[in-house]
Amino acid sequence: MTKRAVWIALLGLPCLMWAFAAVASNPQAELQRWQQAAGQPGNAARGQVFFGQRHGSEWSCASCHGQPPTQDSKHASTGKKITALAPAFNSERFTDSAKVDKWFKRNCKDVLSRECTSIEKADVLAYLLGLK
Ligand code: HEC
């Protein structure tokens, strides 16, 4: 092996493996993650109601994502385009656990002034996965 090949093997491979481990997820796996944490299955009907409710604040999830969230929508304050949240209409949705965690945290704080519980997240995902 050349010196360069050794370096690529030593540094490149672990980086690649790390990158895969960090991003690889899918909507079904994310649903399962929250269902497991909640100890019960997500309920799509409950998720639909939750998504459209204001929870005592100015915004609901639907204010930015639309309802049903099956097409492009606009951010309620900046007007910036947000692509469809339902995974059947946007293959990039729920494919990165870190992104899911980050945005659930941020958006739930905006809407509910607290983090969403595991069962609330499972309900939302069950609702989103049911949109075809
Ligand atoms: C003030 C606007 C706003 C509100 C309200 C809002 N969101 Fe979001 N949401 C965003 C933006 C911006 C992103 C990140 C950009 C993107 O992914 O398109 C995002 C991304 C997400 C993602 C990441 C999904 C992924 O894997 O790509 C989830 C999950 C999510 N929102 C759920 C919710 C839920 C649940 C609510 C209601 C509790 C909610 N959002 C309310 C603006 C909002």
The two three-digit tokens of residue 58, written as one number: 């100015």
User: Which ligand 1 atom is at minimum distance from the Cα of 92?
Assistant: 27
The answer on pLDDT for 6 being more than 90 is no
The answer on pLDDT for 100 being more than 70 is yes
Cα of 13 vs centre of ligand 1, distance in Å, is: 33
The answer on pLDDT for 10 being more than 90 is no
pLDDT bucket at 28, cuts 50 / 70 / 90: very high
Residue 84, ligand 1, Cβ within 6 A? no
Reference 60, options 22, 99, 116; nearest CA is 116
Q: Which domains does the chain have, with CATH numbers?
A: 26-130 (1.10.760.10)
Residue 76, ligand 1, Cβ within 6 A? yes
Reference 127, options 73, 86, 77; nearest CA is 86
Which residues have a Cβ under 8 Å from the Cβ of 37 and sit 6 or more positions away? 118, 122
